[in-house]
Amino acid sequence: MYSNKYIFIYSSVMVLIVALLLSAAAMFLKPMQERNMRIEKMQNILASINITAARGEAEEMFDQYIVETKVVNNKGEEVEGNAFDVNLQDENRKAPEERQLPVFVANVEGDTYYIVPLRGAGLWGAIWGYLSLASDLETIVGANFDHASETPGLGAEISQTAFESQFAGKRIFNEAGVFSPVAVIKGGAPEGDLHGVDAISGGTITSNGVTNMISDGLAVYESYFKNLKSL
Amino acid sequence: MSDNTNKPKKEELFSVKNRKLLSNPMGKDNPITVQVLGICSVLAITVQLKTSLVMAISVMAVMAASNVIISLLRNTIPPRIRIIVQLIVVASLVILVDQVLKAFVYDVSRQLSVFVGLIITNCIIMGRLEAFALSNKPWPSFLDGIGNAAGYGAVLLTVGFFRELLGSGTLFGYQVIPNFLYNIGYVNNGFMILPPMALIVVGVIIWIQRYKNPELVDVS
């Protein structure tokens, strides 16, 4: 039989070795993992202007199409900062007037697009995405969504093209010029609705999450868009 | 199976017995179709061949390595905490695999998402540690791990093959169903993408296997 002392020493030593091994591996692999995440972010940003970039070419294409990145505040003024590295999760915890809001300006064959990141809550965890606007700052060009842990086949469908492609051509201001973001409508948006898209059957809470994410996420940019339009 | 502890050596590396360790799990000892273990992951990750393959390789790496480690430690592990020791060994290996996947095949790692973590709970691994590695030498344990992982992987790939082919018309992401078939009205079977079809495909495999090998019929 093994004594209690032996068992305690055995488990402590084992845990120590395992901890050392795993932290060493994590430190060693971290740069590669972070690079992968950056590339994925670039792919997602490009996907919101309907450009599909393969892994290998994402960095190159990002540099090619994204001509300007800037950080603005909710009054629409440009502030210091690196748009790409802004962590939206942290920003969303701050009061709206303190947030750093990233804007990516893309130029595709002469057309200018404005891409803004969004982040909100789905059913099980975070959902996030990128929405691109045409140069009129009213019409949506494309959207790209992703999620941490929505239910496969239900809420997780928001990251599928079938859902995302509904956003193209929708508008975020109504005819009177009042901010009116796109809502995800349960039971389906009426034909020709410029401010609504079809929700996902069985994914109501995720769909509502997308609605809130878009309205909250775009609301803070309203002044910026208005300033830009009046130029 | 485990009476080779106090035998005059020296056994060949690939003796008949050792070869059995590799081949049995592929056939009449298959962890999925005969022992019906690890079904959860079969349902979850066989929508595409690529994820099936990566999962099979990951499980093989974890299973072979953990079998060897546990086998090396087998005379020092206090029986009272042996399950904890096994879990820690498996869990750290799985975390390693997850980190490596994230660093080198990020897309695949995203698709497998939580299922890499769930390798820890794959009952085949714990089962082999408990049933084999704890009472056998490292080399046979290594073969046992490879054999069982291969048996698991073979079923995974078979299921993945049919689900991707019939559900998406592709194999490893390349379209194999020619376009003219779609033009004359062929439609991918969307049902194949859903988990229940994995169960049905596994059921068909079990059926065929038992039809060919009647001695299995009474086993379970």
Residue A92 carries which DSSP code? T
- A2/B80 touch (CB, cutoff 8 Å), yes or no: yes
Does the pLDDT at position A188 exceed 80? yes
pLDDT computed for residue A91 by the predictor = 87
- A36/B106 touch (CB, cutoff 8 Å), yes or no: yes
Residue A106 carries which DSSP code? E
Q: Is residue A171 part of a domain?
A: yes
CA dihedral A183, A189, A193, A196 (to 10 degrees): 10
Mean pLDDT of chain B: 84
Q: Is residue B5 part of a domain?
A: no
Give the pLDDT mean for B132-145: 91
Mutation pick from A3, A4, A14, A42 vs chain B, by most beta carbons of B within 10 Å, is A14
Q: Is residue A132 part of a domain?
A: yes
Count structural domains, chain B.
1
Burial class (CB in 10 A: 0-12, 13-18, 19+), A224: buried
- A29/B100 touch (CB, cutoff 8 Å), yes or no: yes
Q: Is residue A211 part of a domain?
A: yes
CB A210 within 8 A of CB A131: no
Partners of B170 in beta bridges: B175
Q: For chain A, give the percent of residues with pLDDT over 90.
A: 39
Does the pLDDT at position B107 exceed 70? yes
Q: Is residue A60 part of a domain?
A: no
**Chain B residue set in contact with A, beta carbons under 8 Å:** 76-81, 84-85, 88, 92, 95-96, 99-100, 102-104, 106-107, 110, 114, 194
Q: Is residue B174 part of a domain?
A: yes
Does the pLDDT at position B196 exceed 90? no
Does the pLDDT at position B172 exceed 80? yes
Q: Which residues of B touch A40 (CB under 8 A)?
A: 106, 110
**Could you tell me the residue range of the domain that residue B81 belongs to?**
32-216
Does the pLDDT at position A41 exceed 50? yes
How far apart are alpha carbons B133 and B185 in whole angstroms? 53
Assign residue A5 a region (left: φ > 0; alpha: ψ between -120 and 50; beta: otherwise).
Answer: alpha
Q: Give tens-digit pLDDT for A126-169.
A: 999 999 999 888 899 999 999 887 876 678 889 888 899 999 98
pLDDT computed for residue B2 by the predictor = 46
Does the pLDDT at position A25 exceed 90? yes
Q: Is residue A138 part of a domain?
A: yes
Q: Is residue A10 part of a domain?
A: no
Does the pLDDT at position A228 exceed 90? no
Q: Is residue A9 part of a domain?
A: no
A83: tokens are 């748009």
Q: Is residue A217 part of a domain?
A: yes
Q: Is residue B104 part of a domain?
A: yes
Give the pLDDT mean for B18-38: 82
Does the pLDDT at position B114 exceed 60? yes
Count structural domains, chain A.
1
Q: How many CB atoms lie within 10 A of CB B97?
A: 22
Q: Give tens-digit pLDDT for A68-101.
A: 898 998 888 888 888 888 888 888 888 888 888 9
**Could you tell me the residue range of the domain that residue A73 belongs to?**
66-230
